Amino acid sequence: MNYLLELLIFLVTLSISVTIFVHYRYGYWKRRNVPYLKPIFPMGNNTSIFPKGISLGIISKYFYDEFTKMGCKIGGVFFGIDPQLVIVDPDVAKDILTSDFGYFVARGVYKTSSDPTTVNLFTQDGFEWRTARAKSTSLFTSAKMRKFLETMSKCADEMAASLEQNAIENSDVKMLEVMACFTTDVIGSAVLGLNCNSFKDPNAEFRNIGRQLFDEFTLMDTIKIFLTISFPKLCEKIGVSNIQPEVSEFFCRTVKDLVKYREDNNLIRSDFLQMLIDMKNSTNQLTMDEIIGQVFIFFSAGFETSSTTATLTLFELSQKPEIQNKLRGEIEECMEKNDNRITYDALMGMPYMNAVVEETLRKWPSVTTLTRVCTKDYTFRDSGITIQKNTNVIIPVLGFHRDSNYHPKPMEFDPERFMNKNSSYPGYLPFGEGPRMCIGMRFGQMQVKLGLLTILRKYQVYPSPKTSLPLEIDPDTFVLHTKQPIYLKLKKL
């Protein structure tokens, strides 16, 4: 009987202690006079979002819309019991990313030392990030991009050839799969020096890994991602990885085998992996785990974001034939001036092409949310509110990009928004901003533009009735995907 009484006392005491602790944690923003959304234990403000999916873009836009209604410049939410600060004012966001970057160097993206693929330039913070950034900057110069254009062009020609039968038969083209094969082949060649053969073999190994990484989420994958967002410290302590074990093992094995083969056979290639190997061997600057991490992020970020952006651009062009024809006219004029040759400067220097891609990234930003961690106490200029070191910050890019206050008729695709070079675009952050801006921006833009140029020179793109409209963001994916597959029709020119 005494044991039961002691157990009851323990449980009551524990319950009271947890209640007091949670109540104190959830009073965090109130004590700092920051407007906040009411959380519910144990998921905090994820409670109303989680059943609908795990898309961070949808979550952050929901927060953005709620705080915008309240007229706030900043607002507080909770992931689990961890406080997060949502930035609602684009000028405040710009300060955090640029002029006050010294207070917000860290991204705070989840990583665990038990999985090398999670430790890379995107997830690293502090001294690790500064060192990795300094080492990697030379990989993405304009000179390096020019060298990769020939490889990209071969992959683009294979893509165009693979579409001929679809055009002849007037059959529906699942465009994201086509563009994913293209970018997978480009990344495989440019990063690892491998011919992935995605167009010749639909089940090519690298293409399957790409599908598994972004398209084939299991319930367990979803739970892991949710837990690493809501309870990152606990997950890191117990070694939870948000990358599927099969994917992580594939990259670890592949990179180690390639490095060993090249070093054993004195083989030198002109690709990203070779540059990383050279760094490793010059002054032992890179470890094998670091090489694995950088290769993983180059592959995953390089193929996925570019294929999605190119697909959504072609979809928008199919809906607006006048825009498609105007872009094709600019492409033909550019090619004529360059003796029908594709050069890096010509590809990157077409004003209307730039505007079309920029408008796609406004309406459908690949990176829907930016995250930062305050690395030392910071006071906001306008409000005088101070946030403490280690406060997590959310910048809702999708919210800014689809706010009619900054972009009238935000769901209308209109490249003319970006034709005036003197215009400013508050909160336009497709690649981030400041020192942690996407280091592979030019590589990604080059892939997208070359893919568009190659298809539009050979085909007229039409909408397919098989695509259900309107397009919606898929709530069950971590990166931006549409809920429904995008099918298009092609007619050979």
Annotated binding site: 438
- Half-sphere exposure (Cβ direction) of 151: Cα atoms closer than 13 Å: 25
Q: How far is CA 62 from the centre of its chain?
A: 19
Distance CA 377, CA 391 (A): 9
Backbone angles phi, psi at 76, to 5 degrees: -105, 140
Structure tokens at 89: 């004012």
Say if CB 64 and CB 396 are below 8 A apart: yes
Residue-wise over 474-488: b if at least 16 C-beta within 10 A, else e? bbebbbbbbeebbbb
Q: Which residue in this structure is represented by tokens 């994201």?
A: 176
Spatial contact of 441 and 121, defined as CB atoms under 8 Å apart = no
For residue 156, give Cα distances in angstroms to 104, 117, 234: 39, 28, 45
Peptide bond into 485 cis (omega under 30): no
Residue position matching structure tokens 């995107």:
122
Specify which residues 145 forms β-bridges with.
none
Q: Tell me the Cα Rg of the chain.
A: 24
447 close to 186: Cβ distance less than 8 angstroms: yes
Numbered residues of the known binding site for heme:
438
CA-based nearest residue to 390, from 109, 108, 119, 124: 108
Q: How far apart are CA 199 and CA 212, in angstroms?
A: 18
Bridge partners, 218 (sequence order): none
Residues 6+ apart with CB under 8 A from 237: none
